Amino acid sequence: MNSIPLRVTVWGENRHETSHESVAKLYPNGMHEAIAAGLREHLGDTVTVGTATLDQPEHGLSNDVLDRTDVLTWWGHAAHEEVSDNVVARIHERVLGGMGLLVLHSGHYSKIFRRLMGTECGLRWREAAEREILWCVNPGHPIADGLDEYFELPHVEMYGEQFHIPPPDELIFISWFEGGEVFRSGCTWTRGKGKIFYFRPGHETFPIYYDANVQRVLANGIRWAAPASSAAYNPGGRNITAPLAALAEDHTVDASIH
Amino acid sequence: MNSIPLRVTVWGENRHETSHESVAKLYPNGMHEAIAAGLREHLGDTVTVGTATLDQPEHGLSNDVLDRTDVLTWWGHAAHEEVSDNVVARIHERVLGGMGLLVLHSGHYSKIFRRLMGTECGLRWREAAEREILWCVNPGHPIADGLDEYFELPHVEMYGEQFHIPPPDELIFISWFEGGEVFRSGCTWTRGKGKIFYFRPGHETFPIYYDANVQRVLANGIRWAAPASSAAYNPGGRNITAPLAALAEDHTVDASIH
Amino acid sequence: MNSIPLRVTVWGENRHETSHESVAKLYPNGMHEAIAAGLREHLGDTVTVGTATLDQPEHGLSNDVLDRTDVLTWWGHAAHEEVSDNVVARIHERVLGGMGLLVLHSGHYSKIFRRLMGTECGLRWREAAEREILWCVNPGHPIADGLDEYFELPHVEMYGEQFHIPPPDELIFISWFEGGEVFRSGCTWTRGKGKIFYFRPGHETFPIYYDANVQRVLANGIRWAAPASSAAYNPGGRNITAPLAALAEDHTVDASIH
Amino acid sequence: MNSIPLRVTVWGENRHETSHESVAKLYPNGMHEAIAAGLREHLGDTVTVGTATLDQPEHGLSNDVLDRTDVLTWWGHAAHEEVSDNVVARIHERVLGGMGLLVLHSGHYSKIFRRLMGTECGLRWREAAEREILWCVNPGHPIADGLDEYFELPHVEMYGEQFHIPPPDELIFISWFEGGEVFRSGCTWTRGKGKIFYFRPGHETFPIYYDANVQRVLANGIRWAAPASSAAYNPGGRNITAPLAALAEDHTVDASIH
């Protein structure tokens, strides 16, 4: 419908990539660049994809950058606490106003995700190179487009329930792990006008972001999370005149209190 | 993204239009043609819109027609019981398989809506030419695109709570009526791969389907309800081999029972 | 709070028990009696528990019996089609009116469950005596009371996604199976005033209903599904006088149509 | 079932009551005492009800008090910003751990509600002494117990949509206002193990908390929000051994990273 490309900003913490040789070998330009490349490949000229990282000024997420962002993706792990509260507040406001947000893997513990969820967002984990099978339980959802009933990842870090999130609006994927756990791996929420998609796979020591199914899910997620409505939205508290105008004159109020 | 036009079929009972002069004057070609015209005007060449009515063979909804339908809209009122159970079963299967469905106004009591909902779908009503104000409570939803915080209809039939539906997946509009009632006027559900949108306004004795906001909501609804995923979907019960193939040999079962 | 005992009716198909020696050995009085005994043990004098079976007149579910039933549990498997449509309609109406319903294991394919859900309710299955691990993803829910993070069943029939149900109002358990599948094993829905709980474990060839955790979940489910509100409920369509009485005189309507 | 009384703490800001004569006349012992009295009257010896206010040390909500609180009710309006972040964090943790929370009227803008919701929680308002009609749209819910299809309040402050909350898990009441607005007046959410109920009526300049229906809803809300499950809950992130123990030895991991 819309021929103007979606504007995506892929945010990466970009620390493991510089401090661990094995991660650097896997993702020589950083995970954010691998994620961005996958989106460009799957979405072609329907998107423009930029990147931003923790150690840039304002973490690369100035108001100017956010003005040009329809959907933001977030990968963080070791340095959640280093993300500035100001930038978090800025992103929070943008999401409520309609910017889409994809939260990836260990981003479950980021400040922005926890603030939007209102819960602790903890989970069980085990770094054991296990097999993961992701089952699609919502096949009509646009994020599932093109997938089979399930897909596998041969070696992953395990994330297990209980995942301490609010009940998702939509549950799309449930993961099975070799060690005996399950996990709600694809969840969506609406907050204000913004759409949020959490997707589990993505550990830094495995080549997850080169997997074709993972790339497809992220590409689908970008499309789904894009702003889809220009409807009026007024988040603040407001003292309002009645639609039925005659009303105002009918009542007297002790206005000194409010 | 997709340049192939969406294929819409607008179904109308088309009885009041032929039996009541006032309705015939309001909708000289039938309500279904007025609805179809509104969709064509708002959606242009992104859709092709056909119509079908109760008194056609198979109510105009042969398998052939449904094969060429991405989204079906349904308006019925006086003759719900005349709709063939076979056709209802056919539509039911299509919706579960991914065809979108818009249920309009008195269609709340249609066989297909009640079957998909599993509840009685009753409500309070009063034909009193009251003012209705529809408030948008989900401004980020694509169905709300382009709307203000609320819009008004000057003269409508009243529908009031309790509306005996399952809790909707998404609540988009709540109506206010002059006589003191409220109503969940825009509700969505997912059933199988199909998306269902119920929209309240639309009584045959008022020019509702010429209203610009109503037309916009219907056009948005068509886009939203369009099939959005080609993911695998296998609704039947199936005896299945394990993803972990080695398993089958590990266990013995008294297969005589199943 | 309420000292009047809850009245529970445990319904069992009771066919495998009479036709298969291995099942008869496991459940000599029928599965329904094993289920009833577990409820009596866990709930003591807070309940009275009766049973009913397919081959009784009206399947043991006369209006009289249903008048004395606060919560009904349903286990069927081989003979879903033999259940009378009249009895199904009767139960359907009762559930909408507030009677609780627990649907057990292969009851997913019963007429009453499918009618309430509005979907096909199919699933993948494999009778392979696999290990099942049930994870609790909603630990604050009364149905989870007393449970650990997960519990295991050593040998079960596998049920796997996709489970073709409407999105549950609440998801309480997710199962992991040895063969690689997952399943939404504890789901709740509200329909009308009635509460519905689907619980997966329970195959006739395994001693599932003697398991302490399974018994506890069923007992919790009974309490949760019990009618909890005497609020007004009027499911039918009704022509209604406005709360704001003056209104009726303000408008004129072409009453000949409706 | 449980004969130990529920322990309720009613929290009140208690500022308007001391600064505005008209409020002091309406609620001579403070709104919190009026709320507490209503709960004692409706719930009798099934509860013990204490109160706490803003100007007490730790706002009357020490760890010791919270240790003895099953359900907390919250009314604040003019001094939300004076509530200590430490106390808010303490309540937040308790709610996730299972303490029930009733948020009343202008408490929609309190720190604790906004933190749990993750959104701005703004709304439209007008202090106009209008008539409000509250419709029950979920008659089977325990919070609706004993109510009619609707109840009225003759003179209230108006709160109108859009109410900037996450989609509620359950919607129980929708309000109609004389001036043309509607509002989702009774909403529930689960966060962690805790149940949260927001209820709209309650402005300080009207005798709302003496209304029998309002009192009944609050009493029902207390019962509903009471902790209902002792199931295991471990909110923090945890490095975990697999349920299938053999697994640990099968894999090698670069443990230096995590």
Of A139, A160, A175, the CB nearest to C162: A139
- Each residue's pLDDT, cut to its tens digit, for chain D (258 residues) gives 457 999 999 999 999 998 899 999 999 999 999 999 999 999 999 999 999 999 999 999 999 999 999 999 999 999 999 999 999 999 999 999 999 999 999 999 999 999 999 999 999 999 888 999 999 999 999 999 999 999 999 999 999 999 999 999 999 999 999 999 999 999 999 999 999 999 999 988 889 999 999 999 999 999 999 999 999 998 777 777 778 755 544 444 443 444
**pLDDT score recorded for residue D110:** 98
Phi, psi dihedral angles at A14 (to 5 degrees): 60, 45
Which residue from A minimizes the CA distance to C178?
A180
Of D163, D167, D180, the CB nearest to B133: D180
Of A139, A149, A182, the CB nearest to C135: A182
Mutate to test the interface with A, among C158, C161, C171, C183 (most CBs of A within 10 A): C161
- Number of CB pairs < 8 Å for A and D? 169
Between B77-81, B184-188, D158-162, D251-255, the lowest mean confidence (pLDDT) is in: D251-255
- Of B158, B109, B122, B117, give the one whose Cα is nearest residue C235: B122
Name the token pair of D33. 């005492």
CA distance B156 to B230: 40
pLDDT 10s digits, B148-158: 999 999 999 99
Alpha helices in C63-211 (DSSP H): 63-67, 85-97, 111-117
Pair D132, D153: CB distance under 8 Å:
yes
Mutate to test the interface with B, among C177, C229, C253 (most CBs of B within 10 A): C253
C173 contacts in A (CB within 8 Å)? none
Name the token pair of D177. 């206002």
**pLDDT score recorded for residue A242:** 79
A209 touches chain C (CB under 8 A): no
Q: How confident is the model at residue B178 (pLDDT cuts 50, 70, 90)?
A: very high
Please state the rounded mean pLDDT for residues C70-95: 98
Range A84-92, long-range pairs (CB < 8 A, 24+ positions): A84/A58, A84/A59, A85/A111, A87/A58, A87/A59, A87/A61, A88/A112, A88/A115, A90/A61, A90/A63, A90/A66, A91/A61, A91/A66, A92/A116
Please state the rounded mean pLDDT for residues C85-90: 98
Residue contact B137–D174, C-beta within 8 A? no
Range B250-257, long-range pairs (CB < 8 A, 24+ positions): B251/C128, B251/C129, B251/C130, B252/C129, B253/C127, B253/C128, B253/C129, B253/C205, B254/C22, B254/C205, B255/C127, B256/C20, B257/C16, B257/C20, B257/C22, B257/C23, B257/C127, B257/C204, B257/C205
pLDDT 10s digits, A64-122: 999 999 999 999 999 999 999 999 999 999 999 999 999 999 999 999 999 999 999 99
Pair B92, B116: CB distance under 8 Å:
yes
Name the token pair of B107. 């269609």
Pair A179, D244: CB distance under 8 Å:
yes
Between B258 and B55, the more confident residue is B55
Phi, psi dihedral angles at B74 (to 5 degrees): -130, 115
pLDDT over threshold 50, residue C253: no
**Angle at D82 (CA atoms; ends D78, D83), nearest 5 degrees:** 105
A207-228: string of b/e by CB count within 10 Å (b at 16+)? ebbebebbbbbbbbbbbbbbbb
CA distance D200 to D173: 9
CA distance C93 to D232: 37
The CA-atom distances, in angstroms, between B18 and each of B27, B37, B38, C186 are: 10, 19, 21, 51
D139 touches chain C (CB under 8 A): yes
C21 touches chain D (CB under 8 A): no
B44 touches chain C (CB under 8 A): no
- What percent of chain A is helix, strand and coil (3-state, nearest 5)? 35, 30, 40
Could you give the count of Cα atoms lying within 13 Å of A225 in the half-sphere of its Cβ? 32
**pLDDT score recorded for residue A5:** 96
C127 contacts in B (CB within 8 Å)? 239, 253, 255, 257-258
Pair B121, B113: CB distance under 8 Å:
yes
Chains that touch B (3 or more CB pairs under 8 A): A, C, D
- Number of CB pairs < 8 Å for B and C? 175
pLDDT over threshold 70, residue B246: no
Conformation bin of residue B13: beta by default, left when phi > 0, alpha when psi is -120 to 50: alpha
Mutate to test the interface with C, among D188, D229, D240, D241 (most CBs of C within 10 A): D229
- Of C153, C159, C158, give the one whose Cα is nearest residue C212: C153
**pLDDT score recorded for residue D108:** 97
Q: Which residues are CB-contacts of C10 (< 8 A; sequence separation ≥ 6)? A: C32, C35, C36, C39, C49, C50, C51, C52, C73
Residue contact B142–A229, C-beta within 8 A? yes
pLDDT 10s digits, C203-251: 888 899 999 999 999 999 999 999 999 999 987 777 777 787 555 444 4
**pLDDT score recorded for residue A41:** 97
Residue contact C146–D230, C-beta within 8 A? yes
Distance from CA of B169 to the nearest CA of C (A): 8
**pLDDT score recorded for residue C238:** 74
Name the token pair of D29. 């012992």
Assembly ipTM:
0.93
Based on its alpha-carbon atoms, the radius of gyration of chain B, rounded to whole angstroms, reads 20
- Of C108, C119, C112, C123, give the one whose Cα is nearest residue C159: C123
Q: How confident is the model at residue B255 (pLDDT cuts 50, 70, 90)?
A: very low
Please, what is the average pLDDT of chain B? 92
Q: How confident is the model at residue B256 (pLDDT cuts 50, 70, 90)?
A: very low
pLDDT over threshold 80, residue C133: yes
- Of D24, D101, D42, D26, give the one whose Cα is nearest residue D70: D101
Residues 94-133 of C with CB under 8 A from D: 98, 133
**Within chain A, which residues score under 50 in pLDDT?**
1, 248-258
Phi, psi dihedral angles at D51 (to 5 degrees): -130, 160
Q: What is the largest CA-CA distance in chain D?
A: 74
Q: Is A138 helix (H, G, I), strand (E, B) or coil?
A: coil
C174 contacts in A (CB within 8 Å)? 161, 174, 182, 184
Distance from CA of C3 to the nearest CA of B (A): 31
Residue contact A129–D243, C-beta within 8 A? no
**Angle at A150 (CA atoms; ends A147, A155), nearest 5 degrees:** 110
The two beta strands, A150-160 and A124-136, are antiparallel
Which residue from B minimizes the CA distance to D124?
B149
Positive or negative: CA dihedral C154, C160, C166, C169: positive
D190 contacts in C (CB within 8 Å)? 138, 140-141
